[in-house]
Structure 1
Amino acid sequence: MADNTFKPQPKTPERAHISSLEQYGELYKRSINDPTEFWEEIAQRLDLG
C-alpha cells in the first residue's frame, strides 16, 4: 500500500490555528454545546464584527 501521509513544510505547524487533535476536539465540542458563543468568539478572532 502506498504511503499517503501528508508531511507539512516545517513552518506550517508553527502557523497553524489548531495545533493538535485535542485542541480540535475541544473546539468542536464548544461549537456543538454553545454555537452562539463559539461563533461570536471566532468572529472576534477574525475581526468580522
Structure 2
Amino acid sequence: MTDFERIRLYYELKWATKEQLQKYVQFNVITPEEYKVITGEAYVQ
C-alpha cells in the first residue's frame, strides 16, 4: 500500500482530518494533486 492509498483510507475512515492531510503535503508525503483527489478540494497554503 502506498502512502497515498494509506492516507486516503485514513481520511475515508475519518482517522485523519483535512488539517492533517495538509501537513502530509507540507512534508512531501503526498502532493497537492493527491490532496485534491482525497478531499475533493484544492490544496491552499
Tell me the TM-score normalized by structure 2: 0.35
For the pair shown, which has the larger CA radius of gyration, 1 or 2?
1
| Greater RCO structure (CA 8 Å; 6+ sep) | 2
TM-score by length of 1: 0.33
